[in-house]
Amino acid sequence: MSTQVLSHVDTRRWTAQRLAIWLASAAVAAVAAYFWFTTIPKYFHYDRAHYIYYWPKRWWLIAHIGGGSLALVTGLFQFSGAIRKRWPKVHRWTGRIYLLGVLVGSIGAVYLGLVVSPIRAFGISLEFLALAWVLTSLMAYIAARRRQFAAHKEWMTRSYVVTFGFVLFRIGTRNHVLGNLGFQMQSVVLSWACWAVPLLITDVVQRWRATMGPVRRQPAAARLVGQPGR
pLDDT at 6: 43
DSSP 53: G
| Residue 227: per-residue pLDDT | 55
pLDDT given at position 83: 86
Question: What amino acid occupies position 101?
Answer: G
Burial 151-173 (b: 16+ CB within 10 A, else e): ebbbbbbbbbbbbbbbbbbbbbb
How many other C-beta atoms lie within 10 A of the C-beta of residue 137? 26
Q: How far apart are CA 195 and CA 168, in angstroms?
A: 8
Is 64:112 a contact under the CB 8 Å cutoff?
Answer: yes
pTM across the whole model: 0.81
Give the pLDDT means over successive 10-residue stretches in the chain (230 positions).
49 66 81 84 84 86 92 89 87 94 94 85 90 95 93 94 92 82 86 93 86 67 50
Residue spans of alpha helices (H) in 40-148: 48-51, 58-77, 81-86, 88-111, 120-145
3-state secondary structure 161-214: HHHHHHHHHHHHHHCCCCCCCCHHHHHHHHHHHHHHHHHHHHHHHHHHHHHHCC
* Of the candidates 95, 200, 88, the residue with the CA atom closest to the CA atom of residue 152: 95
8 A C-beta contact, residue 160 and residue 101:
no
**Residues 78-113: tens digit of each pLDDT:** 888 788 888 989 999 999 999 999 999 999 999 988
The pLDDT, as a whole number, for residue 230 is: 47
pLDDT at 5: 46
Helix (H) or strand (E) holding 15: helix 3-39
The per-residue b/e assignment along 61-72, b for 16 or more CB within 10 angstroms, e otherwise, is bbbbbbbbbbbb
Whole-number Å distance between alpha carbons of 124 and 126: 5
Residue 80 is predicted with a pLDDT of 80
Question: DSSP state, 146?
Answer: T
Cα 126 to Cα 122: distance, rounded to the nearest angstrom: 6
Calpha distance 190→171 (Å, rounded): 10
Residue type, 162: V
Inter-residue contact 109 to 63 (CB < 8 Å) = no
pLDDT score, position 4: 52
